Each structure stands twice: as structure tokens, then as C-alpha cells.
Amino acid sequence: MARTFQECRILPEETCLENVLFAAQQKGMRATLVQLASRSQAARRAKQDEAMRLLALVRLEAYAHAPAEALSFGQRRLLEIVSTFIGAPDVLLLDEPASGVNPALLVTLSEFIRTMYAERPRVFMVVEHNMEFIMSLAGDIIVMHQGAVLERGTPEAVQASRLVIEAYLG
């Protein structure tokens, strides 16, 4: 399982490539011992190649060796999201991935998420207030209101729901 946070969490002083490769590392004492015992140049190169491929998918390959602090906020958000995918988790929790991201980068983010899902279908749980963004991505939407499920269904069904319209559009 991997997740992003509503507030972007990256390592600003590290390069973009280092941010992604750090996320690729298994964490914990046992994982550290396994990594020390099984280090190979081929495995390192494969992870680095995958990290570069993911950075290219969000158009950040030119920043691979630049410190992450050189990126705009939206680019930092893309870097954080790319970092969650490098470990190929079965479940991804994305908290407000569109928050603070400009429309051009939202297109890049949507394309990236679709590409990742097509390559390796998995469970995506996205908490998002940008309805246009989420409606363009999701096949099954759960609308919550005051801590309870208000509606569940396809984007079309949710958009047409009287309950959703009353709760959010007055």
C-alpha cells in the first residue's frame, strides 16, 4: 500500500530522481538487511530506469538531476505521486491529488494515472474535491456528506443524483 498526503511531502533538497528512488526502497530493518545482502548493479539500474520512465510520463525527466525544490508546486505534487507508483503497490491512497495543480498539469496527472492503471490494474482510493477531475477518472464514485455515504455509482449516476445535487448545489 502507498499513499500521498493532502500536503505535498517530498525531499526538497534531494534530486527528483533521488526522491523517486528513495520511495522505491523497502523500509524497515529486515528490508535493509535483504537489500544489503542482495545489492546488484542490474537491480539498481532497473529501478533507476523505471524511475526515469515514470518521471518522463509526467514530463519531469528534464528535472531528474535537479533538486526537487526547483519545481513548481504542481510539479512537486506530480513528483510525490510518481514516487508512490515506483513500488507497484496493490492499493494506492491519493489524498487531494489535484489540489493546487494547474489545469495543464491536471491533464498530465490524469494521463499518468490512466497509464498506470492500464499497466497494472489496482485499487485506487482518491479523496478529491475537484469534481471534474474525479469524474473524468473514476468508474465508481462514493460521495460522502457529513461523514456518511450519500451516494455511490458511476460518474453519470452520481452527477444526476437528487441527493448529491441538494447537498452540494443547494
Q: pLDDT in tens for each of the 170 residues of the chain?
A: 899 988 889 999 999 999 999 988 765 555 555 555 556 788 888 899 999 999 999 999 999 999 999 999 999 999 999 999 998 889 999 999 999 899 999 999 999 999 999 998 888 899 998 988 999 998 899 999 999 999 999 999 999 999 999 988 76
Go through the domains of the chain in sequence order and give each one's CATH number.
Answer: 2-138 (3.40.50.300)
Given a contact cutoff of 8 angstroms between Cβ atoms, the answer to whether 148 and 127 are in contact is: no
Given a contact cutoff of 8 angstroms between Cβ atoms, the answer to whether 96 and 77 are in contact is: no
Query: Distance between CA atoms of 52 and 18, rounded to whole angstroms?
Result: 10
With 0.75 as the threshold, say if the pTM is over it: yes
